[in-house]
Amino acid sequence: MKITIIGTGYVGLVTGACLAEIGHDVFCLDVDPRKIDILNGGGVPIHEPGLLELIERNRRARRITFSTDVAASVAHGEVQFIAVGTPPDEDGSADLQYVLEAARSIGRYMNGFKVIVDKSTVPVGTAQRVQAVLAEELAKRGLDGSSQHRFSVVSNPEFLKEGAAVDDFMRPDRIIVGIDDDANGELAREKIKRLYAPFNRNHERTIYMDVRSAEFTKYAANAMLATRISFMNEMANLADRVGADIESVRRGIGSDPRIGYHFLYAGCGYGGSCFPKDVQALIRTAAESGQNLRILEAVENVNDEQKDVLVQKIVKSFGEDLTGKRFAVWGLAFKPNTDDMREAPSRRLIAELLTRGATVSAYDPVATDEARRVFALDLAGVPDQHARLTFAASQDETLKGADALVIVTEWTAFKAPDFEYLKDTLKAPRIFDGRNLYEPDAMAELGFDYHSIGRPHVRHASDAAAPAA
């Protein structure tokens, strides 16, 4: 089938490359010529494991094309995926301007039946707005949407984890498709069934429902996962107070099949492009419908406060004024295997350390360039703080002259460092671990003053210089 992907961001590129991989003829459109130049030059504007190789393989097979030509993109695809950004507006609602502009572009140029698929994460009722925009553009052309200018708007939300998106797409747990029950919907269903047929050969993974339910399903899924994270973080904070070990608790409750182990790891808060934005958008949708989502409001508040937990532990150890102190920070991206800095806990942590007078040397395996850009904006009004932030070329380089190591992202490279080198290089053997990578007892035996999230703080007996927390 001929497929058009509108938007070459995270969702659009993964969707386009994976659909090309199973044999479809894919045209990827973006209005940003910089992105298209990168893609046509053999690069990828985002970091996602396996994506570059997938794109290159399908480019050589001539199954994927990248262009800024809007008219050509509309003419190409019988199925048009809208995969543009829906950033949070000032009030927390999803900003649909890019989605609606994509729909206008389709309406301006479409000829023949088109299936328009909302792949972007959008609030309930967006398909109806997209449908209205398409009808409006056809009317401007003197067309009424009948005969060869018919269309159907479908909801097909993505369920991709950054860092594992290619595998998630190629081996989906489920494919959610929302289609209206009318004549155009029947034809759209046939096309969508053909499109996803390769994923349903072993067993049917596609779940069909009405459009509004499909739109709602995406938000509900992300809200549930965010809730599990905030729940465990709140339990971890209580474990700190009562002397329990949150890792033991996690194993104990996760063994219950009704609960399971997924998304039950305590840490220094979630970030990224999905959970913060989608929780806020769902809260806003509820408010517009006259309902308060009290659980999700609490989830958001807990996560916001959790991003300060590491700073609180550092202040308890060093005092409020961190002037003259130097901290090594490992991990900048909001999670491993991505360079995404959106809502990353590292941003709050580093900003707080700098505000208190500290110097920071930070390292991330892939997100350093993006972090430079983000912090240049975040700290634009405070040049003295920006001058105290440096980015190291390696994790070991950050340790030189540092008073403590702070771990923010659970990259594999951080899970088994050379602890003797680490202890010898730091001014004092002190670690603040926001992802519980190490065992407290083992760290105490190695001579470290080790602070984690929701786990007993065990200080080595001989480490008299390290203050108790």
DSSP state of 467: P
User: Nearest-CA neighbor of 447 among 461, 434, 435?
Assistant: 461
- Is position 28 annotated as part of the catalytic site? no
Within 145-195, residue ranges assigned H as helices are 165-170, 183-195
CA dihedral of 225, 94, 47, 365, whole degrees rounded to 10: -60
Helix (H, G, I), strand (E, B) or coil at 117: strand
What is the DSSP secondary-structure string of 15-47? Answer: HHHHHHHTT-EEEEE-S-HHHHHHHHTT--SS-
Q: Are 433 and 411 in contact (CB under 8 A)?
A: no
324 is known to lie in a ligand binding site? no
218 is annotated as contributing to ligand binding? yes
198 alpha-carbon distance from chain centroid: 27
Does the annotation list 277 as a binding residue?
yes
Structure tokens, 371: 């972090």
266 is in an annotated binding site: yes
- Angle 435-440-444 from CA coordinates, rounded to 5°: 135
d(CA 232, CA 234): 5
State how far the Cα of 325 lies from the Cα of 34, in Å rounded to an integer: 41
Give the span between the Cα atoms of 443 and 304, in whole angstroms: 29
The reply to whether 52 sits in an annotated binding site is: no
At 224, list the tokens: 């549930």
* 161 belongs to an annotated ligand binding site: yes
* 265 annotated as a binding-site residue: yes
Distance CA 437, CA 270 (A): 16
Is 342 marked within a binding site? yes
Can you tell me the distance from the alpha carbon of 414 to that of 394, in angstroms, rounded to the nearest whole number? 11
Give the dihedral sign, CA 427/430/432/437: positive
SS3 96: coil
The catalytic residue among 18, 28, 268, 274 is 274
Report whether 160 belongs to an annotated binding site: yes
Beta strands in 129-283 (DSSP E): 151-155, 175-178, 206-209
List the beta bridge partners of residue 359: 326
Position 28: which residue type? C
Is residue 264 marked as binding? yes
Phi, psi at 114, each rounded to 5°:
-130, 140
Which residues are annotated as part of the binding site for NAD(+)?
30, 35, 86, 121, 162, 277, 342
Give the active site residues: 274
Which residues are annotated as part of the binding site for substrate?
159-162, 218, 263-267, 271, 335
Which residues are annotated as part of the binding site?
30, 35, 86, 121, 159-162, 218, 263-267, 271, 277, 335, 342
